[in-house]
Structure formats: C-alpha cells, structure tokens
Amino acid sequence: MSDDDIALSEKRMYGQKRPETHAYVASGLGVTRVETAGGQVGRFSLVKRCTARDVAGSNGEIAVAAGDDVLVSTDEGFAPTEFGPATAVGYDSDGLLAAGEDGTVARYAAGEWATLGQVAAVRAIDGDLLGAEGGVYGLPSLDRFGLADVTDVAPDYAATTAGLYERDGDEWTEVRSGPYSAVASDGERVHAAADDGLFELVDGAWERCPLPVDEHVVDVVHGADVYAVTEAGTFLVETEAEATADGRGGWRQRSLGVPDVVGVAVA
C-alpha cells in the first residue's frame, strides 16, 4: 500500500492529526470527492455520475449544477431538487441559488425553488454577484452592474474574456488584461486563473503561482488551504509550511483522471 492510499485521517503530521477537508471536483464524468489535509492529497473517488457544469459549497453542503437538475449533498449522497437543467450554482448569506438553461434564476429554501427572475447564459454565482454572458448582476435584485462576457465572479471581482476586474462601489476597474476563466476571494486571499497561469494578489501586486504542472486552471477556491483544478483533471492544493508534514509548504498536485473538469468546491 502506498502512502497516497492511506486515508489522511489516519496520518499523523508533526505528531498530531491535521484537519481533513473534502474537496469536490465537477467534471463531465460527475462529482469526484478528494481527501486532503496538511498539503497531502489522499483518497479520491467518484461519488456521483452526472454531467456536472458547476459546483459550490457552503456550511457543510455541496451543490452541483448538472445537465438534468441541481443536486444537493445529503448524508446518503446527492439528492435531486427538481430544478431542471442548470448552468450555475452558488451560495449567498441566505442559502443556495441556481441558474437554469432557460435563464431562470431561483433560490432553494425549505425544499422548494422560488424564482427571482431571468438572466440568460449564467456562468457563475458567488455571494451577491451573478456572472453571465451579458455582464455582472446583483443578487437578489438581478440589477445589471456592467461588464460583458463574464466567466466568473467573487466578492468585489469579476473574471471576463477581456480581463480581470475589481469593483469599487459602482465602478469596475481592470486590474489585469487578457482572458480570465476563474476568480476567488475570501476577503483576505485573492486568486485568479488566466490562460497563462494562476495568479495571487500579494501586497497589492499580482504574482504568478509556482504550480507543479503546466496545465490550464479552470477553477480555484479557498478553504483551510487553497484548492485549484485544471481542465485536464489535476487537483492542486497549496498549504502554509507550518501546516505540512515536511514543513515545506507550497503547491502539491495529483491527477484524478477525470475529463472535462469545470470546477472545485469545499463545504
């Protein structure tokens, strides 16, 4: 048995167990759960077969936008919600939101969907922002906040096919040019993925992340560590040195062998 095949919860790092995180990777094959802790990537398994288009997590729950429905994690697996074909899912302070193929944007509460309105070609939902082909929209009002051809949103940021933008009040300022596929912000850490690499905002300057693979990053998310996935199916995790078993920190990687990866989430 190799070291990678040992459950991370069974490993001791610096004489004590490190908190384990389950990350969920969405792909054309379905949803793959990945165990990770202390910079190590352990067991992974396909937990739901579907055509996953987006994935999001919050407060212990994972939601998946699939080709036939929105799925929500339960103790028994992933349960359908009867939303219909979805293109994006996300959470705000009031819970789960989803966007459908037909442009319907709705909120899920008490086992039912309540429609908020219509926005065509939605690609991302995060916090109080929604990103779509037509621009950035506010939630829950769906008022349009500008920009166009938006690929991803995060609090105060938007990734577009033309550049990466930061919001200050009602104004958007371009902070990096060129096509961006993903952006993530948790109030302290900010990462953005472009065609030519993954970048982090450090002391007001954008620095390229020294990834161990030369592959296109399609999504990045913050949790106990920083997690990213490439379109080719490589899972990446960055951990602070003091939280790793060898005290070295940095980025680690493992190929998951899944096709058409679109996103990653942690609950």
Q: What amino acid occupies position 200?
A: E
The count of other CB atoms within 10 Å of the CB of residue 52 is: 28
Dist. CA 263–CA 219, nearest whole Å: 5
CB 105 within 8 A of CB 115: yes
Q: Give the residue carrying structure tokens 């396909």.
A: 46
**pLDDT interval class at 17 (50, 70, 90):** low
CB 84 within 8 A of CB 69: yes
Cα three-residue angle 230-231-234, rounded to 5 degrees: 40
Dist. CA 77–CA 181, nearest whole Å: 29
Domains in the chain (CATH in brackets) are 3-266 (2.130.10.10)
Dist. CA 64–CA 86, nearest whole Å: 9
Q: Give the residue carrying structure tokens 């300057």.
A: 205
**pLDDT interval class at 248 (50, 70, 90):** confident
User: Using one digit for the tens of pLDDT, what is the confidence trace for 43-76?
Assistant: 999 999 999 999 999 999 999 999 999 999 999 9
Evaluate if pTM is beyond 0.75.
yes
DSSP annotation of 149 reads S
Burial 205-227 (b: 16+ CB within 10 A, else e): eeeebebeeebbbbbbbbbbbbb
What tokens were used for 250?
């940095």
User: Using one digit for the tens of pLDDT, what is the confidence trace for 111-145?
Assistant: 999 999 999 999 999 999 999 999 999 999 999 99
Any bridge partners for residue 92, and if so which? 95
When computed from its CA atoms, the radius of gyration of the chain, rounded to whole angstroms, is 18
**pLDDT interval class at 199 (50, 70, 90):** very high
CB 207 within 8 A of CB 192: no
